[in-house]
Amino acid sequence: MKILVPVKRVIDYNVKPRVKADGTGVDLANVKMSMNPFDEIAVEEAIRLKEKGVATEVVAVSIGVAKAQETLRTALAMGADRAILIQTDDEVEPLGVAKLLAKVQEEEQAGLIVLGKQAIDDDSNQTGQMLAALLNLPQGTFASKVEVEGDKVSVTREVDGGLETVKLSTPAIVTTDLRLNEPRYASLPNIMKAKSKPLATKTPADFGVDIAPRLETVSVAEPAKRSAGVKVADVDELVAKLKSMGVAA
């Protein structure tokens, strides 16, 4: 089985994003970028499935600027076998990403597509579901456990009421949640090996996909600062204030 793992280059999760002065977006100048944490979990899970003998090849794919090669090299250093970069300087919306990934899947014919449930920059949580709809494939979202037996994939997923287990026929799509695994650190020898692993570069035009935006960002603003609290002398005063706010009856 071949596993396809889409990965996205985002602002590092340890960095606090800054909004541009004109409110048109997030300032990316001189900001540390890294692989989307949920996608990192997806790469780790694909590699573990390969180590178990379930998969024979792990292919990482990314859509974005030329510097996204660094993100793909990270995936290769973790253990992916080869990578594909669909290079574009334009911002690609989830539907455009799903359409491009659908074209990649038509070429690669992977038995399993494993991707993060969402990206931490836009938090859309749409690409996996849209991809499943475009390819008419079964999907298991928010996976906290993945088991492959033959041509069936058992996915334990996190839902509001607890855990739900679904069984999918391959090819299938799985989106990963935080509790699925703990991604490994790439060792120095593997980082060096990743430099020689194949990385193909293509463009959206090569797949005949229109990635023109369908949404317009009107403005971007930082969350309002939290107002200062108020000290109360005793419980009676606290209850009185809560009543005045309509919190307590």
CA distance readout (Å), 229 to 47, 151, 186:
49, 57, 45
Residue 125's domain comprises: 2-244
Report the sign of the C-alpha dihedral through residues 205, 99, 135, 140, in that order.
Answer: positive
- 225: pLDDT confidence band, cut at 50, 70 and 90? confident
Mean pLDDT, the chain, rounded, equals 91
Pull the structure tokens for residue 233.
């002398």
The more confident residue out of 232 and 69 is 69
Summarize pLDDT for 13-29 with one digit per residue, the tens.
888 888 888 888 888 88
Tokens of 137: 């494939």
Query: pLDDT band at 248, cuts 50/70/90?
Result: low
> By mean pLDDT, which of 30-34, 44-48, 62-66, 223-227 is the weakest?
223-227
* Residue 13 placed within a domain: yes
**In-domain check, residue 249:** no
* Position 11, amino acid: I
The confidence score (pLDDT) of residue 181 equals 93
Q: What is the pLDDT of residues 52-107, one digit of tens each?
A: 999 999 999 999 999 999 999 999 999 999 999 999 998 899 999 999 999 999 99
In a domain, 79, yes or no: yes
Distance separating alpha carbons of residues 159 and 162, to the nearest angstrom? 5
Q: In the sheet that 139-149 helps form, which strands lie side by side, from edge to edge?
A: 162-169, 152-159, 139-149, 172-176, 112-116, 2-6, 57-64, 82-87, 199-202
Strands 2-6, 199-202: pairing is unpaired
Q: Convert the pLDDT of each residue in 5-15 to its tens digit.
A: 999 999 988 88
Asked if 116 and 91 count as a contact pair (C-beta separation under 8 A), the reply is: no
In a domain, residue 41? The reply is yes
Q: Please report, for the domain that includes residue 88, its CATH number.
A: 3.40.50.620
- Predicted confidence (pLDDT) at residue 175 exceeds the cutoff of 60: yes
Q: CA 148: distance to chain centroid? A: 21
* pLDDT band, residue 221 (cuts 50/70/90): confident
Write down the pLDDT at residue 247. Answer: 67
Sign of the dihedral defined by the CA atoms of residues 241, 247, 248, 249, in that order: positive
pLDDT of residue 200: 95
For the ranges 61-65, 190-194, 215-219, which has the lowest average pLDDT? 215-219
243/132: higher pLDDT: 132
CA 145/CA 72 separation, integer angstroms? 24
83 is a domain residue: yes
Q: Tens digits of per-residue pLDDT, 102-148?
A: 999 999 999 999 999 999 988 899 999 999 999 999 999 999 999 99
Amino acid at 214: R
Contact predicate 154/167, CB 8 Å? yes
Q: How many domains does the chain have?
A: 1
Query: In terms of pTM, does the model score above 0.75?
Result: yes
Alpha-carbon gap, residue 245 to 4, rounded angstroms: 53
